[in-house]
Every structure is written in structure tokens, then in C-alpha cells.
Structure 1
Amino acid sequence: MSTAAIDTPPPSAAVRHSPAENIVGILVGTLVASLGLFLINSAGAVTGGTAGLVLLLAQVLHWPFAVIFAVVNLPFAVLAWTRKGWSFVASSVISVSLFSTFSLLHPKFIEAAHVNPLYAVLVGNLAAGIGILIVFRHHSSLGGFNVVALLCQDRLGWRAGYVLLGLDATVVALSALTAPLHTVLLSAAGVAILNVVLVMNHRPGRYPAAL
């Protein structure tokens, strides 16, 4: 019998991440995702996801962003608690907090006086997709639409990337009511790139160590 046959565990015996690996993974994932969002915002592009939806609602309701963000995310938090358990909710709260903190720090250390919009949107969404992928694989999320996407993948077998693509596309389409057409089209291309990263790399049964 070969050494490889002895050392390689069967597919059903996937090794779980250690607590230290989860901490580092969530730190790196939220940092990379927030850097991607910083690039997207630097280009003045429309943001998808729950944040994009909250920004649209803020323009209509004229409420503070933080208040609308909390109200919108509350039902998603309850859904996650009932369907995925307290550990997932706690981890997601930490991820969202880190993501928000990093988002506040980037402008203090990066001066983006001029950035090519096409480059910023495409690379920014690519970075955001990679960051979200890392967070997903450490049994966490950035809340909001992420929760719906992961539940659809776990319960229905739908790939999280496709679910997020549909939700993000809806937000970008609604942004056409207030944003210029060229901004909406560029944002749509960016949203597609972000979710292609998730479709190709996060699918049912591909990464059992994250569960």
C-alpha cells in the first residue's frame, strides 16, 4: 500500500478548520472584500447586495444609513438564527463588524484622487468576490443577501453565486431610477464578475471542510 493511500483521508472525512484558521480566514476575507468595496465606491459605481439596497432606501426614506441598515438586516439575522444556528449568526456579526471597520480605515490610508472607473469596478468586484468566498468558506457571511444565498445552496442545492447574482442584479436595476445609464451598465458588469467568482468556487459538495 502506498504512502499516499494511507495519508489521504476519504472524501467523507474532510478536515474542519481550526478556530485559529477561522479567525485568520475571516480577517483576511473581510479585509479583501472591504478593499474591493473601497475601489467600487472610488469609481462612483453602484453597489449591489444589502448595502446597495439600503442606499436606495435611504434616498427615498431620508433616514440615517445605520438605522435602515439595522432594520433591513434584522429579518436576515432572525432567518440565519433559525436555519443555521447561533454560531453562524455570531460569526456573521463579527464579519460584518470587521468589514465595516476596514471600510472606515481604507480612506485614511489610501488616497484615491483619480482612479480609472473601469479598472476600479472590475478589480474591486473581483476582490470583493474573493473576500466573500473566503468568508463563506469559514462558516460565516456578511449578512443580508449572503444569508439567503447560503440557505438556498444548503437547502435547495442552488449555487450561492447564482442566487446573489439575481439579487444583486435586481438592486442594480433599481438603481437605474437615480443613477446614469453608463454607471448602471458598468456596475452590472462588476456584479457579474463578483458572482462568477462565487459560482465557480463555492458550490454544493465542493468544500465540505467549511461546514
Structure 2
Amino acid sequence: MRSPISFYDVQGIAFGILMCSLTLLFLKSAGLVTGQLAGLALLLSYVLPLNFGTLFFLVSLPFFVLAWLKRGPDFTLRTIAAVVGISLLAPQLARFISFDSLDPMVAAAVGGSLGSIGVIALFRHGASAGGGTILALVVEQKTGFKAGWFQLCVDGAIFLGAAFVLSWDLLLVSFLGAAVTNMLIAWNFDISQAQRKPAT
């Protein structure tokens, strides 16, 4: 059982929201996608007349029920806060940050690295960045299969859909960016860390 939310958690979740939002700025600016529900929302934003933030919130809604059942109200409320924060901040960042030139490989590497930092920050403070990460945490707790590796598997389905929207070169670069994110999570995060109280 986690303690009531503290300033330590608030700043960690806020930092995670910022890093995840910057990830999406890099990817969207380069015409790339990523995995999990964020990737699905990003992909849909290329073909539907809705922005990423709206789509990300809508596709995350069913997974809040899973979070409530499997991880409890505290984790669910923190995750809702993270999803709402990313949904609101990611589209707004594009109003203030633009790129005259952005190589897709650079966008994938930087975005993938920022994404791993953001997701780990949210994990460590009892939240997640959406439905896929909720499911990944549940799987890791039950089976020991690393959350990052699980997410990499789920990404395959997202990229299969992206193959009908993106060119093959952008699809490959997008996959490399998602691989960076998930490998860094797998190498740098242990699920047990999320259960530890911070030192005081």
C-alpha cells in the first residue's frame, strides 16, 4: 500500500508527464509513431480529424477499469492524472516548440530516450502512462516478465497497423525508437522499485 500522495510523488508524476509529452512532440514532428496506446492515438491522429490528446484520453478510458481492479484506486487516480496531463500538454507543446529540420532517426532516438525516462518516472511514483503500461505492470507482477519486453511485444500489433499509414522507412525508424524506449525501461526499471517508499 502506497502512502498518500506527497510532494515527492507530485513532482515525479509532473516530470513524467513532461518527458512523455516531449517524446510525442519529437515523434509527431517527424511523422513517426510509437507503441502502446500512445502510439495508437498518435497513429489515429494522422488519419482522423482529432488531435492526439483527445484520442489518447479516449483510447485509455477502458484501461482505467483494469487499473482499478488490478492495482486499486490510488494507482488508478495517479494514472488518470498522468493520462490527462499528457493529453493536455502534448498538443500544447507544439504551439511553442517547432523544428525547422528534424531528422527522423534523431527524433526516434531522442524521443525514445525521453519516453523511457518519463515512463520510469511515472512507474516509480505509482502511476502509468496509459493502458499498455498498466497491463505491462500487471504482467510483470504476476509472471516476472519485464514490463519493457512486454510492451515491445504489444508494439508489434501497433506497428502492423502503422504499416498501412506510414512509409516503410518511417515505419522502421519508428520501430527503432520504440525499441529504444522499451529496452531502456527493461534495463533500468525493476517493478519492486515502485513499491518502495522514498528515503526521508
Instruction: Identify the TM-score tier after normalising by the shorter chain.
Output: 0.7 to 0.9
> One-letter code of the match for 1:151?
V
Within-5 A mapping of 1:95-110: 95-110=82-97
Q: Judge which range, 89-98 or 45-54, deviates more.
A: 45-54
Deviation at 1:21, TM superposition (A): 0.3
Equivalent of residue 203 in structure 1, options 166, 176, 190: 190
Given that residues 58 and 64 in structure 1 are in contact (C-alpha distance below 8 angstroms), is that contact kept between their aligned partners in structure 2?
yes
Aligned partner of 2:144 in structure 1 is 157
Equivalent of residue 173 in structure 1, options 132, 156, 160: 160
Query: Across the two proteins, how many residue pairs are aligned to each other?
Result: 196
Deviations 1:35-85 (A, max 9, x none): 11111111111232113224556778x585677655532321111101100
Aligned partner of 1:35 in structure 2 is 22
Q: Output the CA distance in 2 between the equivalents of 1:52 and 1:114.
A: 22
Given that residues 138 and 210 in structure 1 are in contact (C-alpha distance below 8 angstroms), is that contact kept between their aligned partners in structure 2?
no
Gaps of 5+ in 2: none
Given that residues 54 and 87 in structure 2 are in contact (C-alpha distance below 8 angstroms), is that contact kept between their aligned partners in structure 1?
no
Q: Output the CA distance in 2 between the equivalents of 1:110 and 1:125.
A: 18
Equivalent of residue 80 in structure 1, options 67, 81, 88: 67
4+ residue runs over 4 A deviation? 15-18, 55-60, 62-71
Aligned CA RMSD, in angstroms, stands at 2.5
Equivalent of residue 34 in structure 2, options 47, 58, 61: 47
Given that residues 124 and 193 in structure 2 are in contact (C-alpha distance below 8 angstroms), is that contact kept between their aligned partners in structure 1?
no
Equivalent of residue 94 in structure 1, options 81, 91, 97: 81
Say whether 1:190 aligns with 2:177: yes
Change (3 A) 1:207 1:96: closer
Given that residues 121 and 186 in structure 1 are in contact (C-alpha distance below 8 angstroms), is that contact kept between their aligned partners in structure 2?
yes
Q: Judge which range, 81-90 or 42-51, deviates more.
A: 42-51
TM-score, normalised relative to structure 2: 0.86
Q: Output the CA distance in 1 between the equivalents of 2:4 and 2:180.
A: 28
Change (3 A) 1:30 1:44: same
Equivalent of residue 10 in structure 2, options 23, 44, 50: 23
Larger Rg: 1
